Amino acid sequence: MDLLRFSTAGSVDDGKSTLIGRLLFDSKGVFEDQLEAAERSTVNRSAGPIDLSLLTDGLRAEREQGITIDVAYRYFATPKRKFIIADTPGHEQYTRNMATGASTADLAIILIDARYGALVQSRRHTIIASLLRIPQIVIAVNKMDLVGFSQARFDEIQRDFKPFVDQMGFTGVQWIPLSALSGDNVVTPSAVAPWYTGPSLLEHLETVEIAPIDVRDDFRFPVQFVIRPNLNFRGFAGLLAAGTLKVGDEVLALPAGTRSKVKQIHTHDADLAVVSAPRCVTVLLEDEIDVSRGDMLVHPQRMPWVKRDFDARLVWMDATPLDVTRPYLIKHTTRTVRVKIAQLLYRIDTNTLEHVPATTQQLNEISRVRISAAQALYLDSYDANRTTGSFILIDPLTNATVAAGMVVADQPGEDQGVATLSRIDRAAREAHNGHRAQAILLAGTSRDAQSQFAHALETRLFHRGAQVLVLDSESAKGDVAVLTATVRLLLGAGLVALIDLPLDKRAERDALRRSLGADDVVEMLIEAPEFTANSDFQRPVLADCTIGLRRGGLDAATAQAVTWLADHGLFGTHRVVSPGAGI
Amino acid sequence: MESFAQNPSQLHAQSHLQALEDESIFIMREVAAEFERPCLLFSGGKDSIVMLRLAEKAFRPGKFPFPLMHIDTGHNFPEVIAFRDYRAAQLGERLIVRSVEDSIKAGRIVERPGQDNSRNRMQIPTLLDGIAEFRFDAVFGGARRDEEKARAKERIYSFRDSHGQWDPKNQRPELWNLYNGRIHKGEHIRVFPISNWTELDIWQYIATEQLEIPSIYYAHRRPIVIRNGLVLPISDLLPALPDETVEERTVRFRTVGDATCTACVESPAATPWQVIEETAVTRITERGATRVDDKVSEASMEDRKRAGYF
Ligand SMILES: Nc1nc2c(ncn2[C@@H]2O[C@H](COP(=O)(O)OP(=O)(O)OP(=O)(O)O)[C@@H](O)[C@H]2O)c(=O)[nH]1
Ligand SMILES: [Mg+2]
């Protein structure tokens, strides 16, 4: 039977614990003595006969204060699936505990109080769920009983919050109106909300597809422990983090760089001929090569990044803010080494998703940083591999876990292209030019209108004093690497690059976004219905701004574009915001 | 609730047990690699028996990189103590026993007759003394989160200060499987590799792994009394009260804790598969059915853990 791990999220008092209580209660997942204890309890904050939140709020302080402080883990099973639930706190102060519960989840239920709609904390938790790449989310609009199960109210909340959620890149999003108090749509479909025809929460949990989380399956084996009982057995024990390993496979040991072949894949039960992640095994090699804890076995052709300097997103989890002058310890796979935060690149405003310049990072804040480690780490992006892309930071003095980190896909200086020898850096050029270096991806509903617009915008920006250049993406002949390398070169030179890309070149758009860094790219949709023969074009989801273009209206359209760019900091110190890949 | 097939081969196919096993093995190896002096608390009970099997899976063909330790409360079921010694010898691993009786004799613990008769709380100083004596920096416990509401809140690596205390309001964040085991001198970590296992998982594992466990986990005849709705085994340690009638019934134990306050349940289940069938449909938790002391207050477990209990 398969196992679904899910966690709750949302603002304080939205009803997360009550919902879990209701789910357990109605699916017969509560034991009689647990129920009795809840009934006997001296507190009951609910309007019902039993306060179902007491089934998970197990600490004295939680009962006294009526809030959840730390994650509660609960277990239940139906004939279809087995579930591990992490009920997490909504209070801002305990966001790190929410992250703890969410880090291993396949699905997150984000609750919203039907009376208040999405609040700041709902957004923060949604961002964290997205950062952690939880593939599936449920947006549970709770307390529908208090708004008379009004469809209008549900629709209104959805209209307000959906654009934000849709930018987050979740694989699946299910919206469910429900009441944890009355049980409507929790286990059984609601009779009082006939307008909702989707599944109940439990039905959805039982049937939602658990997609493999890691997109890449390159073999990664961080060595955890060496088992060497005698001279004939020298096994490297660990958790196969990704990929498949067969007896006879050639492997490369990092950092030594030595190669050997797999002689035996040992488990206590039986030797295996082949094993796939995630499994704990002990690997024996043909040759006596030097391997110890913290090393990694990989396939020689499928190497991870071997890097000391890399970019990552960081969720700060300690009351003492980040201090860029201090050393920290990073624990990454089975390796712990000293690091410094070489650069705090920006902080993400969790309300607007804007990238804000920052000199420090406080509790619960999310940032992008450049990390410099004392020794090389063997990294993949978190998108590609949850294990080799994640890490924690530890304060070496207090031993506290101060941050959780995720390696980003767009590492500085990744792909080919001609290197520059320039000693003048981008920031200096930007200061000199009086504007940011910026890639602007144009997407037009009409190719013709788009290219007219590109030239007109170039001229207007140029007259405004910007160093700007239009790139003909088609001359790259579909070579994404060439295109990104060229754009990177232009950005390094402090220029504004206008990239005239056909609307359907989704792969190029994604690649540019990924490899250039979210803040370097902005997507501009040119909506020109009068130019378009057929109007059923595919609107790019990630467009940051939309410019309407009428016949003879190039001037007005480019003026609108320049205003938008200026408003979003092209000529100032703020980067242009691109919400889509912005977190 | 679920119903489970009796056919072992079907259970082998249950991927969730494999996932739980892998998680536990990973945790044990992580501790063995990162700590200087770990130890594993072994009581002879079913959860710690599962832990020993997991340790075999994690470290064989090597020896365990830690000794086993039992805090003998003096209130144990004899079958369990016999099994403890048998199993440790069978595995060829070192077993340390520290006893509450000795702590009492040495004046480390003062018995309070009539009050908290159980040795659940009284074993705390003996445990902390044992940890200090061997300078253990990591102690494996077989606690599960489904057992009790305070346990449901505890991290897998549970940080303990120099007094062995748990601070539930200030636990370290614990993301993914990146455990932070860094401590200062005198502090230690309690590690719970089977945190995410349920009672049913334990029984399924006992069945599929064909683990031997003390006989009292299966149906047997025993003199009992019914007190406060609990089925209490009558012995020298737990005499019947004057107004109670002692009867012989067919019972089994769901937990084998302190013999003065551990109840049994009426059951004909004589094999792991029969126990699994009962466990899958039971309406009462393991502790609710068997622990007299947990009913004392809403937070008795939390209070004990704050004081250093595991
Ligand atoms: N009317 C109504 N009240 C609800 C519903 N769900 C929860 N509540 C009440 O809302 C309050 C907060 O519920 P909790 O379940 O503790 O909220 P929570 O989201 O777990 O709170 P934190 O964990 O502290 O963030 C309690 O008084 C609940 O009884 C609902 O569907 N309808
Ligand atoms: Mg709660």
Burial (CB count within 10 angstroms: exposed 0-12, middle 13-18, buried 19+), residue A370: middle
| Contacts (Cβ under 8 Å, ≥6 apart) of B22 | A239, A278, A279, A280
Residue B138 host element (H or E): strand B138-140
pLDDT tens across A514-523, in order? 667 667 888 8
A50 in contact with ligand 1, CB cutoff 6 A: no
Output the pLDDT for position B119.
66
Confidence at A353, pLDDT banded by 50, 70, 90: confident
How far apart are the C-alpha atoms of A408 and A313, rounded to whole Å? 7
Q: Is the pLDDT of residue A347 over 90?
A: yes
For B154-188, give one letter per residue: b (16+ CB within 10 A) or e. bbbbbbbeeebebebeebbbbbbbbbbbbbeeeeb
**Of A383, A385, A400, which Cα lies nearest the Cα of A331?**
A400
B61 to each of A228, A297, A301, B58, how far by Cα in Å? 8, 21, 32, 9
How far apart are the C-alpha atoms of A79 and A84, rounded to whole Å? 15
Burial (CB count within 10 angstroms: exposed 0-12, middle 13-18, buried 19+), residue B129: middle
How far apart are the C-alpha atoms of B296 and B310, rounded to whole Å? 18
Output the pLDDT for position A368.
95
How does DSSP assign A420-480, residue by residue? P--SS-HHHHHHHHTS--EEEEEEESSHHHHHHHHHHHHHHHHHTT--EEEEEGGGGTT-H
pLDDT tens across A282-339, in order? 999 999 998 999 999 999 888 899 889 999 999 999 999 999 999 999 999 999 999 9
A89 in contact with ligand 1, CB cutoff 6 A: yes
For A16-31, give one letter per residue: b (16+ CB within 10 A) or e. bbbbbbbbbbbbebbb
Confidence at A573, pLDDT banded by 50, 70, 90: low
Beta bridge partners of A406: A313, A390
Q: What is the mean pLDDT of residues A422-440?
A: 84
Outline which parts of chain B fall under CATH 3.40.50.620: 2-200+298-306
Q: Is the pLDDT of residue B265 over 60?
A: yes
Q: Which residue has the higher pLDDT, B6 or B124?
A: B124
Domain A426-567 grouped into CATH 3.40.630.10: no
Q: DSSP code of B291? A: B
Q: Distance, in angstroms, between A58 CA and closest chain B CA?
A: 5
**In chain A, % of residues over pLDDT 90:** 60
Lowest-confidence pick of A178-187, A454-463, B110-119:
B110-119
| Contacts (Cβ under 8 Å, ≥6 apart) of B229 | none
Confidence at A580, pLDDT banded by 50, 70, 90: very low
Output the pLDDT for position B293.
59
Outline which parts of chain A fall under CATH 2.40.30.10: 220-298, 305-407
Output the pLDDT for position B292.
67
> Which CATH entry fits the domain spanning B2-200+298-306: 3.50.50.60, 3.10.20.310, 3.40.50.12160, 3.40.50.620?
3.40.50.620
Amino acid identity at B114:
G
A306 and A255 in contact (C-beta within 8 Å)?
yes
Output the pLDDT for position B1.
35
Beta bridge partners of A341: A371
Lowest-confidence pick of A169-173, A456-460, A500-504:
A500-504
A101 in contact with ligand 1, CB cutoff 6 A: no
Are B180 and A392 an interchain contact pair (Cβ–Cβ within 8 Å)? Answer: yes
**Of A222, A233, A242, A298, which Cα lies nearest the Cα of A263?**
A233
Burial (CB count within 10 angstroms: exposed 0-12, middle 13-18, buried 19+), residue A418: exposed
Output the pLDDT for position A571.
87
Q: Is the pLDDT of residue B117 over 80?
A: no
The mean pLDDT value of chain B amounts to 87
B221 and A CB contact within 8 Å: no
Output the pLDDT for position A534.
53
Output the pLDDT for position A577.
41
Chain A residues in contact with B56 (beta carbon < 8 A): 268
How far apart are the C-alpha atoms of B234 and B251, rounded to whole Å? 12
Lowest-confidence pick of A166-180, A423-437, A485-499, B110-124:
B110-124
CATH of domain A305-407: 2.40.30.10
pLDDT tens across A115-151, in order? 999 999 999 999 999 999 999 999 999 999 999 999 9
Task: Give SS3 for B155.
Answer: coil
Could you tell me the pTM of the whole model? 0.80
Output the pLDDT for position A539.
56
Chain B residues in contact with A77 (beta carbon < 8 A): 1-2, 200
CATH of domain A220-298: 2.40.30.10
Lowest-confidence pick of A306-315, A382-391, A426-435, B230-239:
A426-435
Q: Is the pLDDT of residue A207 over 70?
A: yes
Confidence at A578, pLDDT banded by 50, 70, 90: very low
A154 and A177 in contact (C-beta within 8 Å)?
yes
Outline which parts of chain A fall under CATH 3.40.50.300: 2-207, 426-567
Output the pLDDT for position A506.
67
Mutate which of A3, A20, A271 to test chain B, going by most B C-beta atoms within 10 A? Answer: A3
Q: Is the pLDDT of residue A536 over 60?
A: no
Confidence at A30, pLDDT banded by 50, 70, 90: confident
Atom number in ligand 1 closest to CA A67:
24
How far apart are the C-alpha atoms of B310 and B308, rounded to whole Å? 6
Output the pLDDT for position B164.
87
Output the pLDDT for position A453.
92
pLDDT tens across A84-102, in order? 999 999 999 999 999 999 9
B198 and A CB contact within 8 Å: yes
Q: Is the pLDDT of residue A562 over 90?
A: yes
Q: Percent helix, strand and coil across chain B, each rounded to 5?
A: 35, 15, 45
Confidence at A507, pLDDT banded by 50, 70, 90: low
Lowest-confidence pick of A282-291, A523-532, B176-185, B242-251:
A523-532
Burial (CB count within 10 angstroms: exposed 0-12, middle 13-18, buried 19+), residue A440: buried
Q: What is the mean pLDDT of residues A12-22?
A: 95
Q: Is the pLDDT of residue B294 over 60?
A: no
pLDDT tens across A50-66, in order? 888 988 888 888 888 88
Confidence at A367, pLDDT banded by 50, 70, 90: very high
**In chain A, % of residues over pLDDT 70:** 91
Output the pLDDT for position B285.
85
How far apart are the C-alpha atoms of B246 and B234, rounded to whole Å? 8
The mean pLDDT value of chain A amounts to 88
Q: Is the pLDDT of residue A6 over 90?
A: yes
Q: DSSP code of A242? A: B
Are A97 and B59 an interchain contact pair (Cβ–Cβ within 8 Å)? Answer: no
> Which CATH entry fits the domain spanning A2-207: 3.40.50.300, 3.30.565.10, 3.30.70.330, 3.40.50.2300?
3.40.50.300
Atom number in ligand 1 closest to CA A18:
15
Task: Give SS3 for A372.
Answer: strand
Burial (CB count within 10 angstroms: exposed 0-12, middle 13-18, buried 19+), residue A194: exposed
How far apart are the C-alpha atoms of A128 and A113, rounded to whole Å? 19
Q: What is the mean pLDDT of residues B77-100?
A: 95
For A512-547, give one letter per residue: b (16+ CB within 10 A) or e. bbbbbbbbbbbbbbbbbeebbeeeebeebebbbbeb
Which two three-digit tokens encode residue A45? 């904050």
Phi, psi of B36 (to 5 degrees): -85, -40
